[in-house]
Amino acid sequence: MNALAATNRNFRQAARILGLDSKLEMSLLIPFREVKVECTIPKDDGTLVSYIGFRVQHDNARGPMKGGIRYHPEVDPDEVNALAQLMTWKTAVADIPYGGAKGGIGCNPKDLSRSELERLTRVFTQKIHDLIGVHTDVPAPDMGTNAQTMAWILDEYSKFHGHSPAIVTGKPIDLGGSLGREAATGRGVVYATEALLAEHGKSIQGLTFAIQGFGNVGSWAAKLIHERGGKVVAVSDITGALKNSNGIDIPSLLMHKEATGSLMNFNGGDAMDSTELLVHECDVLIPCALGGVLNKDNAADVRAEFIIEAANHPTDPDADEILSKKGVVILPDIYANAGGVTVSYFEWVQNIQGFMWDEEKVNRELNRYMTKAFHKIKNRCQTHNCNLRMGAFVLGVNRVARATTLRGWEA
């Protein structure tokens, strides 16, 4: 099941639990606005090439819409739509005053030079500058984009609207980016994990962890788990997979990956088949890579007691059912990876106030938001006798439905 179908299914189930009016349910599902633009740029060799860009603005009942911009060959309206809708529920679960949006350009950033990427980003910004805004829709980096991409959007947008640092988050620190933003998603995953484990009378210290994906989120999660005395027994990324039953020395592995660009040939662990990682023996499994990796083919073999969804939609609904029957506790993506957007909110607040926070304050506030959200989800689970995924959806959908109704959506 693709991400859009799975998200719609979870939403409809939450709407049924809440007893939402069918017209309100339909209104919450339909995006506020979908934009498709043509971005034509000269390549470095002088030839012209066109790319299609998208921005889906899903809902603004609780505040400006918020969501990443991804540069990827497979960006299509369905995927962008699902991710925009997920952002609406995610920001509501985290209780930050945003709605959901998502955008992207169908291109392969690896095939473009830095100057071509800059031209493409500026043309895309020119096409959508009057649809985004500090109090309307605030983009952020996503797959294939980074702080530099945000710097170009900020500069191009400011040509039309004056200096507007709050127009994007995930910017370089020198242009008003927030301290702690780079680590935020991984750190939020760790705070979420701590809240869940505490509920079960456990802590990170002494437990074993398997982490799929060793990019920004996975590497920060691994580093922070290692610092807290957790034992990371397996990691993988596109370059390969490693295991060590005594625990991998994460600081050494980070230095090795920095130096070689790969996990392979690291002398502190044994190579393993990447597909084995998801079914490797561990207490906590953290998928930080692609969607749909846990499915009906491998779910029965998962040996972890807890799954923390650091990736978007890593568990498809068939796997969800199998894992639930096995008694595996799944902390859903809609909450577990909300650390990034939460610190994006802090960055936006700092930009609007023109007053920057130190990193300690950023991390302290992130911990407070993640912990508070977990307890709200648990309350919903107890009230409606449902699992954590449905508890999170019910919490998020209810907050958006209430805001929509209070604003007078039928007028």
Residue linked to tokens 């109090």: 135
Q: What SS3 class is residue 55?
A: strand
| Residue 204 DSSP class | S
Q: For residues 210 and 404, what is the distance between their CA atoms, to the nearest angstrom? A: 40
Q: For residues 346 and 47, what is the distance between their CA atoms, to the nearest angstrom? A: 42
Note if 102 is an active site residue.
yes
Strand order in the sheet with 231-237: 270-272, 240-243, 231-237, 208-212, 284-287, 306-308, 329-331
3-state helix, strand, coil in the chain (%, to 5): 50, 20, 30
Binding-site residues sit at 66, 90, 185, 216, 344
Spatial neighbors of 235 by CB under 8 A, at least 6 apart, are: 210, 211, 212, 214, 218, 222, 241, 242, 248, 253, 263, 277
**List 102, 171, 223, 243, catalytic entry:** 102
Binding-site residues for NAD(+) sit at 185, 216
Residue linked to tokens 């960055």: 347
Q: For residues 337 and 340, what is the distance between their CA atoms, to the nearest angstrom? A: 7
Task: Give the start-end residues of each E strand in 25-86.
Answer: 33-42, 48-59, 65-72
Q: C-alpha distances in angstroms, 244 versus 232, 247, 253? A: 8, 5, 12
Q: For residues 364 and 176, what is the distance between their CA atoms, to the nearest angstrom? A: 20
The token pair that represents 48 in the structure block: 């012209």
Amino acid at 208: T
Instruction: Please check whether residue 217 is in contact with residue 193, taking contact to mean a CB–CB distance below 8 angstroms.
Output: no
Residue linked to tokens 């984009």: 145
**Dihedrals phi, psi of 85, to nearest 5 degrees:** -65, -40
∠ CA 337-338-343, rounded to 5°: 125
Amino acid at 205: Q
Binding-site residues for substrate sit at 66, 90, 344
Q: What SS3 class is residue 212?
A: strand
∠ CA 63-67-72, rounded to 5°: 165
Q: Which positions are annotated as active-site residues?
A: 102
